[in-house]
Homo-oligomer: A and B are copies of this chain.
Amino acid sequence: MTTKITIEDMTVFCKKKGFVYSSAEIYGGLSGFWDFGPLGVELKNNIKAEWWKFFVQNREDVVGVDGSIITNPKVWEASGHVDSFTDIYVKCVKCQKPNKIDKNELGKIKCECGGKYTNQGDFNLMFKTQVGPGKGITSYLRPETAQLIFTNFKLVAENARMKLPFGIAQIGKAFRNEISPREFLFRSREFEQMELQYFIDPDKVDDCPFYNKIKNNKINILTSRERSITIEEMLENKIFKNKWHAYWLYNSYQWFLSLGIDKNNLRLREHKKDELSHYANAAVDIEYNFPTGWKEIFGSHDRGQFDLTQHEKTSKKELKTYDETTNKKILPLVIESSFGVERAMLAFLFDAYNDDKKRGNILLKLHNKLAPVKIGVFSLVNKLNKETKQVYDILKEKVPCQYDVSGSVGRRYARADEIGIPFCITFDFDSLKDKSVTIRNRDDTKQVRIKIAELKNTLKALLNSEIKFEKAGKKI
């Protein structure tokens, strides 16, 4: 039996194990900002590396960029952020707590403490700063990575010799001056995005060569009610306006599954017409079943030609691409797939977290590809540390390992479970004779015996899920 935990307990767990700290905790932190500890940075790096492989490196139709966080402020005028990236800022007359509300909620909603809200006016969520000496230029920390893809669209298409349809991907930080940051990593002021903008000839929005393979697959979706329907049915119901949008949503969903997320904890949610952003023709989120409810961890938008049109107008530069086959100039339509790194991380952590009562310790069942440490290397008794260290030294250059010789082996297994180490090796007295070690599988605690000489290849195959654990060595 396993039990799940609250978001507050996850915050405590993440600090204790070195995943996430309040930023500059010795100074009391700063609301909405987080530092990542030794395990957090490895987990985050693994998530980003797997995303980059899946969406960029393994594909011939997608290339990457990395834009700057501060850029020419005209970008944010063209995108509409300077004028309208605002929340209504309210304050409780009783407890003085700040909050943000929607326009139609003014006068209707009260503070948790029961106090009335007073309207403090519109509040732009972009962080401002002055660039250069003297008065300088007012610019902004980017509130999203997307615009840096649109401004570079033409250069990238030319340099990388890309032809429509193709995508440009980016991983990087974004900043939003949230009035009320909350729910741990879920709504913070500094966060990281993984985004793909896919550019398509508006006349060929249904020419998607991958569509037929996926159209009959079913996913849970919340529209007016929750149900499980096929991608094809979603298209027929106009949840998607075109096949490319349907494909990218499905592919993004698959990415989460490929890294071990339980599909019962995922569902799609269609944006109603009245909640669509000004730039979107259609929008579908992927939500995760957090302890606080179903929450967005991924958003896809059919952005049409909105952004490129805005940048053409404001910059007075042509952003159309030339199509050799038809001799036409084309302003592409854009399908956006947008992931939050920290939200993905939180979903992976909650999904992996089990308070295993039988073992008496926490069991973090992270996917092998995401686990910050892949192999634990233990000696049965301190007398064998020297020989154990030799095994560790062979492995550590191939794969992130942890050498642990403190406390009982049982205690070390528990510690390894708690940070999600998939496999632990123990060097014992028999190892001196049979030149073998015991490997223990995190998820079911089964053990097999493997020759040290075969360790490197066997572990590689195990970590890549190429062989079954039971077949990796001799039964004990």
Contact = CB atoms under 8 A, between A and B. Distances in A.
A35 B148 contact: yes
B129 A26 contact: no
A116 to B, nearest CB: 18
Interface stretch (A61-69, A199-207, A282-290, A298-306): A61-69
Interface in A11-67: 15-18, 21, 23-42, 44-45, 52, 57-58, 60, 63-67
A80 interface: no
B72 A24 contact: yes
A30 B160 contact: no
Nearest to A169: B41
8 contacts: A16-B159, A33-B68, A34-B68, A37-B159, A38-B159, A40-B66, A58-B396, A69-B190
A128 B130 contact: yes
A392 B34 CA distance: 42
A451 interface: no
Given A30-B72, A36-B65, A70-B127, 19 more contacts: A15-B159, A16-B159, A18-B159, A21-B155, A23-B67, A24-B151, A25-B155, A26-B319, A28-B72, A29-B72, A33-B68, A41-B65, A45-B52, A57-B396, A58-B396, A69-B175, A89-B134, A136-B177, A161-B406
A131 interface: yes
A92 interface: no
Interface centre among A71, A139, A311 (most CB of B within 10 A): A71
B177 A33 contact: no
A70 B175 contact: yes
The 6 closest A-B pairs by CB, nearest first: A18-B159, A38-B63, A36-B66, A27-B72, A26-B315, A24-B72
A27 to B, nearest CB: 4
